[in-house]
Amino acid sequence: MKKPSRRFDSSGDAVHLGFQIAPMIDVVFVIMLFFMVMAGSVKVEKELNSQLPGNAETSGATDFVDEQIINIAENGEVQLNEEPMDTAASRDLPQLTATLTRLKKTGDEAKTPTLVTVVSEPNAKYSRTVDVLDSLAVAGVTNVTFTVSDEEP
Amino acid sequence: MAGGGGGEGEPEFQIAPMIDVLLVLLIFFMSITTAQVLKVDKNVKLPLAPNAIKKDTQRSEVIINVRWDEAAKKANYIVDEKVFLETGELTKAVTAAKFAGETRVTKSANPTFRAVIRGDRDATAMYISRAMNAAAEAGISDISFSAVNKE
């Protein structure tokens, strides 16, 4: 049996003005929709880690590892061991990422740590350094040091 | 009746459990959208790094903001809301923050004090390097660079 609608029931003098659940649900739905849309576009602050050199213990035996050097030029060009990688306009650096992934895999198989030093020119954009660090993060290289080539006085 | 529940008549739509579920969903979406708002310095436009790792919030750290002044083509350093133009003063501030931070007990597995560099994407590498030098002079070797996951 269909119940009569209470919302539009205005007949009679005794109108019950109690707590209305339907408008509350409407409002909650709208607020939830707002936060759901906002959740998709939320910017999350993340981090890329690096370690400064110079804290090595000298009392024990020291393993010599192959150091890979990545140079970043002022125009955005990236070189790995003096070999040009990708174009200056490429943000995701696929060639560098692939090469670093291969180096990391080889290092893991040989049980030697992969050590990478990122050397940027002083006037190169910092965002380019972050592009390279992001590429290192994709390759899974954790021993990363960042430095700037001879700074101008 | 097709369902075969044994009771009389059709089951009514229950409003109370629906409100419970709605409110839980609302709280969930509110919490994930507002969690990141507090510590962000609006004047620093962080670079983009979609593959960076999640920020470890448990560690004791000093945050060095590197704000880029496009007109003057130079950067300012901000630590604990104080602006530093010279790296000498910055080193003193970072050293003081390190002493204060090391006395606090951290819950994380790796309690080493670290410096987080929040550099502007337009800044040059030279200014970021100077911030790193300040951290090195303060005796901090663990450096993290902040980035955002999307534009």
Q: What is the pLDDT of residue A114?
A: 83
Would you call A148 and B129 a contact, using CB atoms and an 8 Å cutoff? yes
Residue A44 touches chain B, beta carbons under 8 Å: yes
Q: Identify the DSSP state of A55.
A: -
Would you call B143 and A51 a contact, using CB atoms and an 8 Å cutoff? yes
Alpha helix ranges (H) inside B5-121: 15-34, 87-103
Average pLDDT in the B124-133 region? 89
**Which range has the top average pLDDT, A2-16, A50-64, A102-116, B101-115?**
A102-116
Judge whether residue A153 has pLDDT over 80.
no
pLDDT for A138-151, tens place per residue?
888 888 888 888 75
Q: What is the pLDDT of residue B31?
A: 79
Rounded distance between C-alpha atoms, residue B96 and residue B79, angstroms: 11
Among the partner residues A39, A48, A52, nearest to B49 by beta-carbon distance:
A48
Rounded distance between C-alpha atoms, residue B74 and residue B91, angstroms: 18
Would you call B53 and A36 a contact, using CB atoms and an 8 Å cutoff? no
Q: pLDDT band for position B45 (50/70/90)? A: confident
Q: Which residues of A touch B29 (CB under 8 A)?
A: 32, 35-36, 38-39
Closest-CA residue in chain B for A35? B29
Would you call B26 and A121 a contact, using CB atoms and an 8 Å cutoff? no
Place of tokens 């901000």: B78
Distance from the A116 Cα atom to the nearest Cα atom in chain B, whole angstroms? 15
CB-based contact B97:B137 (threshold 8 Å): no
Indicate the SS3 state at residue A121.
coil
Average pLDDT in the B115-120 region? 89
Taking only residues 69 to 98 of chain A, the set having a beta carbon closer than 8 angstroms to any beta carbon of chain B reads: 72, 91
Distance from the A44 Cα atom to the nearest Cα atom in chain B, whole angstroms? 6
Mean pLDDT check: name the lowest of A77-81, B56-60, B122-126: B56-60
Taking only residues 16 to 45 of chain B, the set having a beta carbon closer than 8 angstroms to any beta carbon of chain A reads: 18-19, 22-23, 25-26, 29-30, 32-33, 36, 39-40
A and B: number of Cβ contacts within 8 A: 165
Phi and psi at A100, nearest 5°, equal -65, -40
pLDDT for B74-99, tens place per residue?
888 888 888 888 888 888 888 888 88
Closest Cα partner for B145 from B135, A124, A87? Answer: B135
Judge whether residue A2 has pLDDT over 80.
no
Q: What is the pLDDT of residue A13?
A: 59
Average pLDDT in the B24-46 region? 73
Q: Please give the ipTM for the structure prediction.
A: 0.72
pTM exceeds 0.90, yes or no: no
Alpha helix ranges (H) inside B52-113: 87-103
Average pLDDT score over chain B: 79
Average pLDDT in the A103-127 region? 87
Residue A49 touches chain B, beta carbons under 8 Å: yes
Q: What is the pLDDT of residue A25?
A: 86
Rounded distance between C-alpha atoms, residue B48 and residue B35, angstroms: 20
| Helix/strand/coil percent split, chain A, to 5 | 35, 20, 45
Rounded distance between C-alpha atoms, residue B64 and residue A17, angstroms: 58
Taking only residues 108 to 127 of chain A, the set having a beta carbon closer than 8 angstroms to any beta carbon of chain B reads: 120-127
